[in-house]
Chain A
Amino acid sequence: MSTKPPKDHFNILYFASAGSYTSKNVEALPAPLPLRKLFDTLEERYKGIRASVLDHSLVTINLTYVDMPEDSAEVDEAEEVVIQEGDEVAIIPPVSSG
């Protein structure tokens, strides 16, 4: 799908409306990054993406769906999901096969 991210980075894939909004299919972002900070990070780069795309999209890390933690939730460091160097993250908007 995409080339390996550079050192200390992960790849994020943007499908469908996410790709239209960012005008790219993939980019490398700095790792590690706690999952709960992902949407803030993207919102900083692409103003308005949270409301128009992310709020009704799902997220995968290395082909597995992950729950997006609440911003306000107490952080238990042992259980915190952190995106690691070399990971492949994807923004999955509502699908439309068939």
Chain B
Amino acid sequence: MATIDPDPTPAQDPSNEPFSLTDAGCFVALTDFPLDYASITDRVRSPQAGAIVIFAGTTRDNFANKPVKQLQYTAYHPLALRTMLSIARELKTKHELKGIAMIHRLGVVPVGEESILIAVSAPHRQAAWRAGEEALEACKDRVEVWKLEEFEEGEGVWRANRDGKVGERVG
């Protein structure tokens, strides 16, 4: 469970703001550490649920065939958490979920590792599948997290989900 609990002395957040928010059946978090499937699953486990759907986003080794060396995520912590919680609440109501949990990793994420985990539980699988997909799309649209792709050739590019295009070059 340690990987999704707030870090008591987070390196990126001198003000010590919490790295997670919870509300009835909803859990959202940001972390600088590797993500853990078991703990996110346990966040939504329920005796009333007949299905848990888990989505894992992992970091790809290329963009448009350009080799990516590593990815780095940064966030506006308090706002990103607030947006994630509002997405969680919306979907929990819409799909009558038993639980929804979303955690995004920040900082350097080595290629092939998980950058986001989403778990949803529902009485029946159809609602869980749909909610899982909608949660990920809503996060990509709205959550105040940014991805910097660093290419093997040395340059770095801020990605924008909106258009799927290369953002501004930074190096």
Residues of A whose CB lies within 8 Å of any CB of B are 1-3, 13, 15-17, 20-21, 52-53, 60, 63, 90, 92-98
Judge whether B145 and A90 touch: CB under 8 Å.
no
- CA separation between A92 and B82, bound complex, in Å? 15
Judge whether B79 and A17 touch: CB under 8 Å.
no
Interface residues of B in 116-141 (CB under 8 A from A): 116, 136, 139-141
- CA separation between A20 and B169, bound complex, in Å? 9
Q: Which residues of A contact B160 (CB under 8 A)?
A: 93-96
Residues of B whose CB lies within 8 Å of any CB of A are 13-15, 17, 57, 73-80, 82, 104, 115-116, 136, 139-148, 158-163, 167-168, 170
Q: Which residues of B contact A93 (CB under 8 A)?
A: 146, 158, 160, 167
From the candidates A2, A16, A98, name the one contacting B74 in the complex (CB within 8 A).
Answer: A16
- CA separation between A1 and B74, bound complex, in Å? 12
Q: Which residues of A contact B136 (CB under 8 A)?
A: 98
Q: List 16 A-B contacts (CB under 8 A).
A: A13-B76, A16-B148, A16-B158, A90-B76, A93-B167, A94-B162, A95-B140, A95-B141, A95-B142, A95-B161, A95-B162, A96-B140, A97-B143, A97-B144, A98-B136, A98-B140
Judge whether A17 and B57 touch: CB under 8 Å.
no
Q: Which residues of B contact A53 (CB under 8 A)?
A: 168
- CA separation between A96 and B140, bound complex, in Å? 6
A97/B17 contact (C-beta < 8 A), A1-B78, A17-B167 known: no
